[in-house]
Structure 1
């Protein structure tokens, strides 16, 4: 693991001038379907996005399942003009399709662009026998428009392709595959090429800079978040496809796929927004065997150690030799040491990000010399005690009392949280359909069932605070913006107004919405001039969607939450029925308008994607049709 300089630390700050304390609520207005909604059946009749492939079992980790649920199967496209918007999707035959909508004629048209490379036999040769930890289930094909004439595509099994687009006639589009590359990953995925999904991409002159995620071959769910470069071919031969190589800028590893990922306009920085922080694995400047730099994945069956630990360090305590529990802002970690162990045998220091613990007792010797916490703590309010029986207790105060830790340290060592019987029964009752009956362990503590751990970690109604990390081209985290307890709510739609080739993605990253109390706070990016080589980025609270956090929390089936880049509305799209739209006028009125669109009309079909293709025009993709909503 490479050593990095301390990043610049910032926090989200609330501007009270944008808080409307007199807001009373939303008033429901019927949606005018007869004039503002258009439905068009898909050419294939019924779109199935499930990809069949070789796999060891059908069970997916919760974080992997979460990433699949959040995946938007409808990709934004640059509008052809002020009246015709475009989106793209990939069908079950790996064909890239364009959908255009003319807002004046209120008509939808489909165009077939190109076919992606199709996997053979699920993408795995039938004579191989991968390890049980190798993730074999194909990923969803993903698309990102690089401008009016280029699309970057990944087929979900390791092929990344560049598609050229041309307009023929009024709004018919044609395309061809210009270049092809294989994603080889970091080497810890256990398969080559590596199934991956596009998270972000930008065209920077003659190059494409992109961010992809792939899953690590590990018993624990881990993701590699990789920033890559690919040259755009300058010449083309009719009927041929250029074979290109991918250059890895850097790889970060984490417990989840970022809910927010973007590349700055100059291509020099990547921004990841996530509930957990990422660990730097390697960059293009690093070579295997260079000092303390790790180029592979540590064995997750052992206790994870940091780059500061050496072979001469004391033997690590086995994972089963400590237990932990949490309640509100307090987290308690307990170690059973030999009776009579004195305080002088213990060296313990707390920092905001790390634990330093060394124990040298008569019968046991172990250390956590520099173990990183799952998230920040308050050192001045944390302490440790040891009693005559040898029970060592670390009393930790979390930085954010509302967060619930899935595990103690950033690297999950497999030690499940222990909770009392009544608390576990309460969790099991709330999540009955997701959990089996937990078994009772001996003693006053009850070990949590793994399924209950996943649900408690990831479906906690209180959510988790989000952190934004800014990485430079070498993978160094140069800036960190914490949410100060605010939770993630929404990404912005792409801005259709900025659709010209050189500026369509904008000069600043898309805005975000975070939850504070009952409101949804809108933060926009800006730059600040500092002494650094690159100006620092800042998030500024510029507006509020009044009481949106409250209404969003009441929805039990939420798949996509997106807001208008011009801040006129914010929408919640369910996975199988409704689209809720909440309007904003920005004049501190006490009642705002909301409306409801019944997308599936009670039919058993899934909602697969949503995009804002023109200002005030939303396109929704279901398994059976394209739905156009004029706001």
Structure 2
């Protein structure tokens, strides 16, 4: 979070809450019927859908907007591409059928990957890229009237070097951008199907049990040379420009022309080596001796002491403590420790005349850490442990990204970019040591759990404060102490050059953020912005323009939505959360239930105000059906902002809202 720094002058600790400022429903919400109705039902029960896929489908926006002429497009349940345009005089929507994609014929006996939602993206007012969700991409040329012309059909063929068990997979379109006068790039995402696992699961079987692995997702950049040669009756392969892989589907993408780079907001996306897999060489500890005749190797090794780890470590929310055993005779001047932002150096000279210790002396020469630290405040101490044979060298590392939990101390091989000048450490340098929990803390936790479970079974007061039995009836099934903490989506910002290279500033924004809202579709043509959780508030960060492609991304704290995380935590059916700069944040419910289908509008307020305005409007649900997509259009002589909401049962326009 190094580039996302809040401005204390824009925070409002005196803020008390939101007051309702009603908007008349009949003056703001307008309903229109749909001839071509969309659907969100496309999940097959034969294949597994991971949590990340479900979350991505819920937040998938089914509307694609063309910011050049203010038109939009969506795909209905019959795979028909439909255009939407608002009348400049009356602001009423008009739909037009552009193209009907062929429906794939799938055999019920064949195992097929889970299909994606159909998606679309505009290059300009006359060029539209459409995906059917089965694995085909169609390039259309839009005429002023009538149907669109099919330029070409493409499919994504995955090269074997990326380790996929399937050659062709469904994908989703995230972004379309013109990166050069004669070139366009389309950003796609697809689920990664590992070669070592069955196509329908992400696990390996051992002893009849399946060990689950987390799903992974591929990000592809497909290159198109402009103008695209029309070959409508032949399926061509996409030209893959670059590739990344991560643990989640991007929640926001943006092409920064000033930096000649793409910004991916989601997981931390990494490159995959395209070379052959390295040959595994077992270590001496992994080599088992071959028994001779009448030789019992079990008896010789049964009572052998287990080799201790080279160090032990533990962590808190803001620090990591590493303990390294050293001979107590080691002089202090023989210990050299150096901290940097991303590396650790520990070099110890052996004491003269000392016996060889059972564990080797540590040697970490600019060893990459798992995450960044604050080198200026990190320190080390050496305790000789009185008359004991071994002392403890303790390293106190202050985390640069407070709240980030480290899975290990050092970066795994290939997990981070190599640090110039780094050297390979000696034995035990790459040993992965699990985190150690202090025994006294473990005992206290166990005691507290035993008391708590006993109190729940007996109905006694679990707090020990004499508050009575059980919980108040109004609070039953409503208590969630971590509700405000978990609101939003954890994401990282990954930069990829238009040509696939990693920019020099590529690792500056790789710390996780808690994203509460992204720019409203239709408002991020020039500069994107994110609303990031800061305590209970939502801080609006705007990306500044670059003077040259080498300029580092600068995120400016532009405004604050006070207590936004707190109010959003109570919305359990939220599908989309978008903001319009510092004017308003809009949280849309899905409306798939009998109740709900509202949009909650939270207005921005000056830093000194104690109250801000909020409003609630009914959008989806009921006869309108579930909400599938939203976008913001500016039309008419005064470029009036109109929010277009696509529901399963119709179109809804919101006017005079932002």
TM-score between both structures, scaled by the size of structure 1: 0.69
1:277 paired residue number: 268
In the other structure, the counterpart of 1:180 is: 153
Give yes or no for the alignment of 1:161 onto 2:150: no
| Higher mean C-alpha displacement, 481-490 vs 177-186 | 481-490
In structure 2, list runs of 5 or more residues that go unmatched. 195-212, 288-308, 349-355, 416-430, 450-479, 635-639
Matched, 1:211 2:231: no
Contact 2:628 2:646 in 1 (8 A): yes
Q: Report what 2:529 is aligned to.
A: 511
Is the Cα contact below 8 Å between 2:531 and 2:540 reproduced in 1?
A: yes
Q: Distance in 2 between matches of 1:372 and 1:66?
A: 33
Report the CA distance shift for 1:32/1:79 in structure 2 as closer, same or farther (over 3 A): farther
1:241-275: CA deviation from partner (whole Å, max 9, x where unpaired): 5655433222222222333321222683112234x
Matching residue within 93, 115, 124 for 1:147: 124
Which deviations, in whole Å up to 9, do the C-alpha atoms of 1:373-407 show, x marking residues without a partner? Answer: 65434466477999999999987643333334577
Pairwise CA distance, 1:209: 0.9
Alpha-carbon separation, structure 2, partners of 1:19 and 1:108: 41
Where does 1:7-156 land on structure 2 (aligned, <5 Å)?
A: 11-44=3-36, 47-52=39-44, 55=47, 58-60=48-50, 62-78=51-67, 80=69, 85-102=70-87, 104-121=89-106, 126=110, 136-156=113-133
Distance 1:63 1:44 in 2: 29
Match of 2:496 in 1: 471
Alpha-carbon offset, residue 311 of structure 1: 5.2
- Paired position in structure 2 for 1:571: 586
Q: Deviation of residue 514 (structure 1)?
A: 1.7
- Report the CA distance shift for 1:140/1:486 in structure 2 as closer, same or farther (over 3 A): closer
Residue 516 of structure 1 and its aligned partner are, at CA, apart by: 2.1
CA distance in 1, matches of 2:276, 2:357: 32
The structure-2 alpha-carbon separation of the partners of 1:464 and 1:402, relative to structure 1 and needing over 3 Å to count, comes to: farther
Tell me how far apart the structure 1 counterparts of residues 361 and 135 of structure 2 sit (CA, whole Å): 46
Deviation for aligned residue 1:485: 7.7
Q: 1:64–1:396: structure 2 CA closer, same or farther, 3 Å change rule?
A: farther
1:66 to partner: Cα distance: 2.7
**Contact kept in structure 1, 2:2 and 2:511, CA below 8 Å:** no
Tell me what 1:199 maps to: 174
Aligned residue in 2 for 1:226: 220
Q: Cα distance 1:588–1:117, how it changes in 2: closer, same or farther (>3 A)?
A: farther
8 Å Cα contact 1:404-1:457 kept in structure 2? no
| Alpha-carbon distance, 1:211 to partner | 1.8
Aligned to 1:105, the other structure's residue is in SS state coil
Tell me the equivalent position of 1:619.
644
| Residue equivalent to 2:544 | 526
Pair 1:464–1:382, CA change in 2 (3 A) = farther
The 5 Å alignment of 1:310-329 reads 327-329=316-318
SS of the residue corresponding to residue 209 of structure 1 reads: strand
Structure 1 partner of 2:568 = 552
Distance across 1 between alignment mates of 2:78 and 2:360: 60
Counterpart for residue 401 of structure 2: 400
CA distance in structure 2 between the partners assigned to 1:457 and 1:297 by the alignment: 45
Please, what TM-score do these two structures have when normalized by structure 2? 0.67
Decide whether aligned partners of structure 1 residues 475 and 604 sit closer, same or farther in structure 2, where only a CA change above 3 A counts: same
Give the superposition deviation at 1:140: 1.8
Cα displacement string for residues 290-311 of structure 1 (whole angstroms, at most 9, x for unaligned residues): xxxx216979xxxxxxxxx995
Q: Tell me how large the CA RMSD over aligned residues is.
A: 5.0
Seen in structure 2, the aligned counterparts of structure 1 residues 486 and 256 have a Cα distance that, compared at 3 Å, is closer
Q: Which residue number in structure 1 is paired with residue 421 of structure 2? A: none
Greater alpha carbon shift after TM alignment, 517-526 vs 392-401: 392-401
| Structure 1 residue 30 displacement after superposition | 2.2
Cα 1:230–1:333 shift into 2, 3 Å: farther
Deviation at residue 141 of structure 1 after TM alignment: 1.9
| 1:114 partner SS | strand
The answer to whether the 8 Å contact 1:206/1:231 transfers is yes
Question: Which residue number in structure 2 is paired with residue 295 of structure 1?
Answer: 274
Q: Distance in 2 between matches of 1:279 and 1:188?
A: 15
Q: Note if contact 2:18-2:612 (Cα within 8 Å) is conserved in structure 1.
A: yes
- The offset of 1:611, in angstroms, is 1.1
SS in 2 for 1:68: helix
Using the alignment, how far apart are the partners of 2:342 and 2:621 within structure 1?
50
CA distance in 2, matches of 1:76, 1:509: 16
SS at match of 2:565: helix
State the shift of 1:202 in Å. Answer: 0.5
| Separation of aligned partners in 2, 1:625 and 1:608 | 10
Structure 1 unaligned runs (5+)?
1-8, 129-134, 282-293, 300-308, 428-454, 497-504
Equivalent pair of 1:523/1:543 in contact (CA under 8 Å)? yes
1:162 Cα deviation from its structure 2 partner:
1.3
Task: Report whether the alignment pairs 1:582 with 2:608.
Answer: no
Alpha-carbon separation, structure 2, partners of 1:394 and 1:120:
62
Shift of 1:561: 1.3
User: 597-606 vs 210-219, which deviates more?
Assistant: 597-606
- 1:595 and 1:325 map into 2 onto residues whose CA distance is 47
Deviations 1:480-516 (A, max 9, x none): 44388853222112336xxxxxxxx74x442222222
Change (3 A) 1:536 1:25: same
Asked if the contact 2:182–2:226 (Cα under 8 Å) also holds between the matched residues in 1, the reply is yes
CA distance in 2 between counterparts of 1:108 and 1:407 reads 55
Count of aligned pairs between the two proteins:
538
Q: Distance in 1 between matches of 2:370 and 2:492?
A: 12
Match of 1:432 in 2: none
Asked if 2 retains the 8 angstrom alpha-carbon contact of 1:64 and 1:221, the reply is: no
Match of 1:376 among 372, 375, 381: 372
8 Å CA contact retained: 2:624, 2:650: no
- Retained in 1: the 8 A contact 2:488–2:516? no
| Aligned-partner SS, 1:63 | helix
Report the alpha carbon displacement of residue 107 of structure 1 after superposing the two structures with TM: 3.0
8 Å contact kept, 2:483–2:569: no
2:558 counterpart residue number:
542
